[in-house]
Structure 1
């Protein structure tokens, strides 16, 4: 039997949401423990340059920012455990978490497990990750000012990324495997307008076959016509894979209220905004946000979750203490 350890407040996840929650919780003397998960540092560790973190005037490398956040949390005596939680029982308090290295119980839980960008799974896509292949136009679009880029996908994510990039890049090639977009009508109409009168080119009924490149990074893409099977090469500098995100919530299925896999939180103006459907369980960052998905918004959510957890734990104390 693995040992079971009780901790008043556990934070699951080690991205900006998790570490910001840890800083605030630790400063409130809650002695939080962060369980890192399978990808310590979260999505930011796959981003080379973070140019939109306020105060970092020269920009900062994603892994460096996460290292600094971890040190900040540890400075206030947050314990960081490198473990991956495989199952949970949130039906009664204390909540129970089962990890690879051991089991844990806690009185309050902050879920900051994030979301993972979906990729196509091409070897060439992986080879040029961070060297011209990205899954976040808001993060990396700036590096392609006045250059030619491609967006792969046909849903809301792809159309939003293409519209965003159209204001930065010289030309945006949108590659979609079907003949029409699955996005909301208003977004689709804006994209079609840009295709007609702007700098967007639509390559429909095509799939991405291969990302082309050399030592300097991406130099183009090879696309395949789904009907004829013919391929063509398109020279360009950046490829944005925009086929959606998957929230990391499998271990909470059937326990917490979700929408499309994202945790439902209360939000609103009365405080307790990060509360989930179970009292004492809070959510922060991309795991509960499929709209904004920025490092800074995740950090803000983490702060709110820590304050909500602090109030909750305070209310559990016997009166007169």
Structure 2
């Protein structure tokens, strides 16, 4: 794969390649976007492009020493760091700054800082001087889920490339590229919200499929402690990942019910459950469904505050779910 094969993100691609081919590539870029959107993948393809020794119009060629050594993970002019623990520490940035003072034998040196928004303030301030007075041969690439978490002094000295969500057709192309071209890709695309890593994780995931079926059995059940309620509770009790999936599936079902009430059935996420959802929606109201979604968000907030897992499961499954 090369940057020319990268699916989607055409605005980002055109901006970077336009600067690169005109000889006006910036000394620093930050690629921001949701987790799983493809920031690291695109940043590495940008690095390969910058290190290609062919003419800019042909880069990355995939054949030169720069491209081949990059693909082999042995290009001496490429340096990459990521958080070692929860943060990127000042010591990691100092390693970059020590290396960046050494001029390469030819071409550029490219540095990739993954999850740069996890740099400590001290690490960011350490990097700042290099961003203010960059060597002409160096390019610093950074990825960040939250661009605003970077110090304003950092943000003002970089080119910000924001990656957007992918269209359904782009998602299908990405899944096909990864050998995922089966009947379960449409639900995966619907639940992924335009984020490739989510769709890839869902496609063919038997645990997700099982969780989804249990959630809908629970949702369409009587809500009086029947077997579907107990089965879902038991399933979630032993699986923390399944609880997150459950919350997302329930929210998608409530949103689908609202769309049905608004007459917008073409936009349903759970299209294969539309008949049951239409019955469910008839017994619902927009206000009640909004309240249900707010309840789910409340559980999510409590999970972030380290609420007991079983208590969260009980909050979801042992309360009346009719609306």
Q: Normalising by structure 2, what TM-score?
A: 0.27
User: Structure with the greater relative contact order (CA < 8 A, sep ≥ 6): 1 or 2?
Assistant: 1
Structure with greater proportional strand content = 1
Larger radius of gyration between Structure 1 and Structure 2: 2
